[in-house]
Each structure stands twice: as C-alpha cells, then as structure tokens.
Amino acid sequence: METAVLIADDHVLLAEGVAIALSSGLRQFKSVIAGTLDETLKALKSAQRFDLVLLDVRMPGMIGLNSVEKVISAAAPGQVVLLSGNVDHTFVNAAIVKGARGLIPKTLPLKSLPSVIDFILSGQNFIPSESFDFTKGNSTSSSVDLTSRELQIVQLLSDGQTNKEIAMGFDVTEVTVKMHMRTICRKLNARNRAHVVLISKERGLI
C-alpha cells in the first residue's frame, strides 16, 4: 500500500533529496513538496490525503506553535512530525502536547527515513536523542504557548517595530501593547524586548 508523504520544507535540495530517498526503497512512498505554510495548507485541503507531513518549523509563513497547530488540524487524521536542523526542546515538547509526533532532525541519514516514518505511522513519537525529554510536555508548554496575537507581536518586535508602531498596526492603544508585552515576558521568562526576541528565535517561535 502506498504511503503519501507531504514534505513541507523551503530548502529545495533537501526536500528533493528526501523525496528521492523515499522513492528509491522497497516501500512505496508518494511524495509531494510544499515550500511555504500556505502551500502546505493548500495541499492538505486538496483531494490528496497524506499519511504524514514532514514539517519544517522555519519555512516561510511559519509562526511558531500556532502554525504547527494549523498544520496538525489540517492534516488529520494524517500525522505531523517536525523537521528541523535546530529547534528548542521546549518547543518540541509543546508541539507534541498539541499532537505532533516528535522531531526528525535534518541530520538524520536519509536511508533511515523510511524506518522512522514506519515507526511514527505505527502511532509512536520519534525521539531524536536522549537530550530531549518528551515526558514533561505539559509542564513546559505554557512557556511557549503564546496566543496568535502575542506571536504576531513577537514577530513585529523582531522586525524592529516600536510599541507605538505595533499599536497603530493593530488599531489598539500603546497600553494594550504594553499589557501584551508583560504577558509575553512572563510566559517566556524574558527580561525585556530584546530578550523576548532572543528567546523566541532560540525556541523556533519566529
């Protein structure tokens, strides 16, 4: 039986390499490539049904956990596993709590990929190394469980916008933005705006 895999990654060479690796084995894999979040969601809404989505958490359109949740919802009942070369373990924990099946590091040998996919499709979470503790997802998820608006604010902070500029963009008061900032700092345990951006980048939120 053919297994349909959606490779959601903007790195063309890597995505094509994964597709070739999946097509060259004894198992029958049908691969489709998407390079942005919009393309991924469009593919998941098409008539094609995918058993698994390999999701690059840093491709265009991805805004942290909120975007991961969108893909998980759109892919159901198919499975979603994160695909990344560098992502914070706290973020991965939180994604697993939301329904992701773990993380496939981009350093994984391509010849091992079919076995990993079989493992995930059997209902298991794939844990790339002992340094990741996936048993503590519920206790750590709150630190990265930002709302959609908070994630948008973090992205705008990363772009260098001031509170006043953010307020104008959302048509709210600066006081409202400051209240969001206090909540964001609390959730991320950040000291200031610059620290918020630094932590967010380290955790793959932006």
Q: Which helix (H) or strand (E) holds 169?
A: helix 163-170
CATH architecture for the domain at 146-202? Orthogonal Bundle (1.10)
CA 43 to chain centre: 17
Question: pTM score, two decimals?
Answer: 0.66
pLDDT reading at 7 higher than 60: yes
Q: Which helix (H) or strand (E) holds 114?
A: helix 113-121
pLDDT digits (tens, 9 = 90+) for 74-113: 999 999 999 987 777 778 888 998 999 999 988 888 888 8
CATH of domain 3-139: 3.40.50.2300
Instruction: Sketch the domain layout of the chain as residue ranges.
Output: 3-139, 146-202
pLDDT interval class at 23 (50, 70, 90): confident
Q: Which helix (H) or strand (E) holds 56?
A: strand 52-56
